[in-house]
Amino acid sequence: MATLRPLPRAFFARDPRRVARQLLGKVLVRREQHGVLTARIVEVEAYLGERDPAAHASAGKTLRNAVLFGPPGHAYIYFIYGNHYCLNVSCEPEGKAGSVLFRAVEPLTGIEAMARSRGIELRSSKDWRNLTSGPGRLCEAFGITRVRDNACDLASDASSLWLGDDGCRIRGIVVTPRVGIVKAADKPLRYVLAGNRFVSGLKLRPK
């Protein structure tokens, strides 16, 4: 296995659109007592901070979204629809509230543990895809919650949750509108790895 290096703070201190693109192909890492969960990032969305009507930062700084306004490279986790957690990483220099939402990852290691967390058996290829394709699903697979992980430093491998680069080269990126929003719903700020099976919301190939 190739060496996995944490992404430097400066990686995140930029426009979230650039961070989003460059996060594709990088690795999400969860260090647990028992072992390590890793997965490749295959789908993300950029949120542009206070000037973006769809962003949680659009109404200014609150207790909930404070991490977005803090230093780059930290986890902003929110609870949604009374059911699910979603993971973002803060971008831009401190004071600016851009972020990237993690929408889907491709499991690499610790797959059985992810399946246990999700409460599913891995039988068909549909089950595999079900594991981590969706912002709520990947958080459940990785045991990510607001209490446990909000404000966690994702730029440090001393954290239980962090982001790394294993040198993987990606092939193509597809850009589409963001999913599940009504304001600014037309802007092309969703980035996916072309043809990746674990991207959320895609139809499975017929037959």
Partner DNA sequence: ATATCGATTATCT
Partner DNA sequence: GATAATCGATATG
**Binding region for DNA (CB under 7 A):** 45, 47, 54-57, 59, 62-65, 68, 76, 78-84, 86, 88, 99, 101, 118, 130, 134-137, 146, 178-182, 200, 203-204, 206
Q: Is 99 helix (H, G, I), strand (E, B) or coil?
A: strand
Shorter beta-carbon distance to DNA: residue 158 or 182: 182
Distance CA 144, CA 85 (A): 7
Shorter beta-carbon distance to DNA: residue 38 or 65: 65
Query: Whole-number minimum distance, CB 172 to DNA, in Å?
Result: 23
Q: How many residues does the chain have?
A: 207
Give the tokens for residue 140. 């459940």
Shorter beta-carbon distance to DNA: residue 35 or 177: 177
Query: Whole-number minimum distance, CB 162 to DNA, in Å?
Result: 19
Query: Whole-number minimum distance, CB 2 to DNA, in Å?
Result: 28
Which residues neighbour 33 within 8 Å (Cβ) at sequence distance 6 or greater? none
Number of helical H runs and strand E runs in the chain? 7, 9
Distance CA 167, CA 193 (A): 16
Query: Whole-number minimum distance, CB 73 to DNA, in Å?
Result: 15
Q: Buried b / exposed e across 116-142, counting CB within 10 Å, b at 16+?
A: ebbeeebeeeeebbbbbbbbbbbbbbb
Shorter beta-carbon distance to DNA: residue 167 or 206: 206
* CB 59 within 8 Å of CB 40: no
* CB 6 within 8 Å of CB 13: no
Shorter beta-carbon distance to DNA: residue 166 or 187: 187
Shorter beta-carbon distance to DNA: residue 173 or 181: 181
Query: Whole-number minimum distance, CB 47 to DNA, in Å?
Result: 4
Query: Whole-number minimum distance, CB 65 to DNA, in Å?
Result: 6
